Amino acid sequence: MSGDPGQDFWDYSLAVYGRDGVARACLALQDRHGLDVNLLLFCGWAGAQGVSLEAAELAALDDLVRPWRDGAVAPLRAARRWLKSQTLAPAALADALREHILAEEIRAEEIAQRVMAARLPARLDVTPPAPRGTSAPQRTAANLATCLMALNIERTAADTADLAAVLRGCHPEVAPLDAVWLLGG
């Protein structure tokens, strides 16, 4: 841990997102529900920090970062995705531009995470200790489930499977069936 919450969250996110199945699961949830991948990763990071998040907090956090997501991240993502399927420009030129836009999209995601991470230290100061026997995977699972509830997303079996993949990315020691069980699925 660097002592910089923004850097710590970013480092955590890069590690988790790079684990087997996590990127696919996060993107599936994003594509199905418009769910912010950074919010999912925040749920895991908070759980690892000992914080159980409430629905109102997650909804407020989503509202806080929405202007940045809508004004910076989403347009970059849309341009990058469009360039992948366009046929007007030569493929090599479009691919080079797409790679450049991807780098800027990642920078925009990092900025969004820094905004989000700035909210957790204040939360740590007022969070009562987790109940005895509550593990980091249990907190993360509860945070992920609460996130969907906060955003009024009715969870499907596919969502539970994807959330389980995210949970396992956050906590690789959790077995696949245990991840589904922790999520109440």
pLDDT above 90 for 179: yes
- Residue 160: what pLDDT? 97
Nearest residue to 165 (alpha-carbon basis) of 31, 29, 11: 29
Contacts of 45 (CB under 8 A, 6+ apart): 8, 9, 12, 13, 117, 120, 170
Handedness of CA 70, 72, 77, 78 (dihedral sign): positive
Average pLDDT (137-151) is: 96
pLDDT above 70 for 41: yes
Average pLDDT (27-31) is: 96
- Residue 172: what pLDDT? 97
Tokens in use for 2? 């660097």
Nearest residue to 147 (alpha-carbon basis) of 159, 157, 132: 159
Mean pLDDT of the chain: 92
Contacts of 15 (CB under 8 A, 6+ apart): none
Distance CA(29)–CA(24), nearest Å, equals 9
Distance CA(69)–CA(105), nearest Å, equals 10
62 pLDDT band, cuts 50/70/90, is very high
pLDDT above 70 for 126: no
Average pLDDT (150-159) is: 96
Domain ranges of the chain: 5-182
- pTM, full prediction: 0.91
What SS3 state is found at 98?
helix
Contacts of 154 (CB under 8 A, 6+ apart): none
Tokens in use for 62? 């989503």
